[in-house]
Structure 1
Amino acid sequence: MRPTLRLLAACGALLLAGLAQATSYRISLPGPHNPHGGSIGRALNERGDVAALWLARGDEWRAVLYKAGRRIDLARHAGLADEFSEARGLNDHGVVVGQIRLDGRDLPFVDQHGAMQLLPVPEGLGGAAQAINSHGDVLAVWIDPAFDSSTAVLYHQGVAQVLPHLRQAVSSYPRALNQRGVAVGLSRLASDAVLPVMWHHGRVHRLGRGLFGQAEDLNDAGDVVGGAGPRQALQHAMLWRNGQSIDLDPSPSGSSGAHGINNRGQIVGQRGLNGRYGPFLWENGQMRWLDDLIVPEQQGLWQLYDAYDINDAGQILAWGYRPEEGIQALLLEPVEP
């Protein structure tokens, strides 16, 4: 073999070896925990901060922010005596949004560095803030308990814009918001079937055709992920990109749903196949069990259940269980091969 061809062959072999060797992950707790309680992470920003739901004790659920190894109880920090609170989203500035229950009524909140602001909701309705982008736009849901219905709302500079239902839908539920103000979620029909939708420039669009399901997250390029299928009972993790519906799950008999996508196109979620259930990572056209990507010294220490979010640095927000710790929010840090 000539030297040039030999060099090309060697480079090709190294490239293939690099592609075959997947990134591994090291598990850490995002902050202090209570082994008699638990926590479930809801959102992760680019700084590695985590918005979470924390079980302080008994059935007392609290909205918390894990930041630089600390746990901040948002309502207590703001001096509010709430009955329940939950953090659901945060942006890269560390601003948290969620839901708080005061005097029996659920309201959406925005918490910026310990100052909690309640967003206006019409009388007789409840609400929860779902997501916030770096421009301060807040995606929320208004809930009418009398009619068991919900409506997607976008707050811009504190002013609410009601987002439309899909035609023939009786209810909408938003999930995620990107930096361009595009939102995704689901619309529910009178038959109780749910459809994945996107809101853009005040209009609502159905994602895909002939599929039931929900959109869970999107990146700044407008790629949307969620779960969908020809029937409500059997769904696969889906990617909607440039008008196409892409099934991410290679197994026809499996079930799965995608929860998070970053700007690199990496996707996380949960799947079930042949009696095995747990979180997955999808990248470069391949779906992998996250359990199989944990560093060898941590294999088997945690039973991983789900993965909710992934940032552009490749950090993954998951949750899992082990007897010594209970159910806890977990941060999976990439370890490059």
Structure 2
Amino acid sequence: MKRSLKCLALGLMLPVLPAHASVLYTLVDLMPESPLVNSGARAISDAGHVLGFTGDGESFVYKNNSVSWLSVPRYANPTGINSSGVVVGNSAGRGIVYSNGVTQIIGGFSGSPYSSVAYGINDAGQIVGSAWNAEGNQRATIAGNGSLTDLGTLNGGQWSAGNAINNSGQVTGESQTPNGGHAFITRNGQMVDLGAFAWGVSRGYAINDLGQVAGTSYVTNNEKHAFITTLDDHMVDIGLSGYSSEAFGINNAGQAVGYFGDNFGGSKRAFVTLNGVMTDLNTLIAANIGWTLMTAYDVNNSGQIVGVGIAANGVQRAFLLNPIAAVPIPGAIWLFGSALLGLVPLRLRARF
């Protein structure tokens, strides 16, 4: 949902998660006609639209084996796409929405001199993001039908940020609290504090239609772990001790995707959760294609995954993974609440 491409070292010190007996995904290079152009894939809709961008500042949508270039401003930051192919993003410090060849600016709060940003859109066309009020404080917002709704903050905090919205209009993001920024979910129009791990800072990056949130939270001052919430809003650590991870996408089956890597922003490898366990996506594709998958940014309800990797020629590239086998999904463990949290340490020990 919100990051830029940088050339990342592919270190040799990352842990190798357990390999699986068979290939579960085929990989599609989204721009095979331009093999030397850096690119990345940011989001995928349930209709299969893939939203991407290039290092040359162009934005595109991939669908049905074809790339369509978007006539948005150069070096725009595309962030979300819905099943109708409507795109949101940011350009020159303002949120934008692109539909049917037309780009529109998303306005800010009435009377405020500050602008807004957009990070996600649902199938109803509701856009989640942030706007700055007259006092200059960032607030999580929903835009749609010509209106802008301030979602407030947690526990009287001054700022909040909206990162993702589901088809029921529930939002996740981060809000200031007396204990630092915390991930939240909106329920019945009110923010619910999802808490944080030991170091007291968390962010919600994605939300599915069941209300499960995926994101990250710090366990030490420089180590953050990916999390998924249960349906009763308990945050479950799916990270690996000694390594940082973030979960950027989650589908209705509870599958989360993201990256794990060193604690200093260097080496990264993409993951997907299988049966609730973080699994290196590089072990689930054919080894002879020569790719290294660095970060998975989104997963749709068909199990398709998009992100960025290093191709065999050493260039950073956008990828689409299509499942070719029955991919194990988390199942009932995410549908129950805190009664099953005692199983988590066992799973963590058994993974590696």
TM-score > 0.5 by shorter chain: yes
Q: How much has 1:324 moved relative to structure 2?
A: 2.9
Residue of structure 1 equivalent to 2:8? none
Taking CA–CA contacts closer than 8 Å with sequence separation of 6 or more, which of the two structures ends up with the larger relative contact order?
2
Any conservation in 1 of the 2:182–2:196 contact (CA below 8 Å)?
no
Whether 2:64 is the aligned partner of 1:74: answer: no
Whether 2:185 is the aligned partner of 1:198: answer: yes
Alignment partner for residue 314 of structure 1, among 296, 303, 307?
Answer: 303
Whether 2:283 is the aligned partner of 1:292: answer: yes
Whether 2:152 is the aligned partner of 1:164: answer: yes
SS of 1:238's partner is: strand
Q: How much has 1:256 moved relative to structure 2?
A: 1.4
Residue of structure 2 equivalent to 1:51? 51
In structure 2, the gaps of 5 or more residues are 1-19, 327-352
SS of 1:84's partner is: coil
Q: How much has 1:39 moved relative to structure 2?
A: 1.7
**Deviation per residue, 1:103-129 (Å, 9 max, x gap):** xxx222221221222222245212221
**Deviation per residue, 1:213-234 (Å, 9 max, x gap):** 1111111011111111344422
Cα RMSD over matched residues? 2.7
The letter of the residue matching 1:89 is G
Q: How much has 1:22 moved relative to structure 2?
A: 5.8
SS of 1:268's partner is: strand
TM-score, with structure 2 as normaliser: 0.77
CA distance in 2, matches of 1:172, 1:286: 30
CA distance in 2, matches of 1:24, 1:85: 34
CA distance in 2, matches of 1:160, 1:113: 22
Residue of structure 1 equivalent to 2:104? 117
Q: How much has 1:32 moved relative to structure 2?
A: 5.2
CA distance in 1, matches of 2:58, 2:125: 23
**Deviation per residue, 1:74-132 (Å, 9 max, x gap):** 235xxxxx35312110111111111122xxxx222221221222222245212221111
Q: How much has 1:327 moved relative to structure 2?
A: 1.3
Alignment partner for residue 233 of structure 2, among 243, 266, 281?
Answer: 243
- Identity between Structure 1 and Structure 2 (%): 27
Any conservation in 2 of the 1:54–1:62 contact (CA below 8 Å)?
yes
The letter of the residue matching 1:66 is Y
**Distance 1:115-1:254 versus aligned 2 partners, 3 A rule:** same
Q: How much has 1:261 moved relative to structure 2?
A: 0.8
Alignment partner for residue 94 of structure 1, among 85, 109, 117?
Answer: 85
In structure 1, the gaps of 5 or more residues are 1-19, 77-81
Residue of structure 2 equivalent to 1:268? 257
Name which one, 1 or 2, has greater alpha-carbon Rg. Answer: 1
Any conservation in 1 of the 2:39–2:54 contact (CA below 8 Å)?
yes
CA distance in 2, matches of 1:184, 1:333: 27
Any conservation in 2 of the 1:170–1:190 contact (CA below 8 Å)?
no
**Bigger fraction of residues in strand:** 1
**Distance 1:36-1:143 versus aligned 2 partners, 3 A rule:** farther
The letter of the residue matching 1:37 is V
Any conservation in 2 of the 1:31–1:70 contact (CA below 8 Å)?
no
CA distance in 1, matches of 2:184, 2:25: 33
Any conservation in 1 of the 2:292–2:310 contact (CA below 8 Å)?
yes
**Distance 1:67-1:325 versus aligned 2 partners, 3 A rule:** farther
TM-score, with structure 1 as normaliser: 0.80
Q: How much has 1:176 moved relative to structure 2?
A: 0.7
CA distance in 1, matches of 2:251, 2:176: 27
The letter of the residue matching 1:125 is Y
Q: What count of residue pairs does the alignment treat as equivalent?
A: 300
**Deviation per residue, 1:218-275 (Å, 9 max, x gap):** 11011111111344422211111113221113x3333211111111111111112699
SS of 2:159's partner is: strand
**Distance 1:200-1:35 versus aligned 2 partners, 3 A rule:** same
The letter of the residue matching 1:113 is N
CA distance in 2, matches of 1:194, 1:260: 20
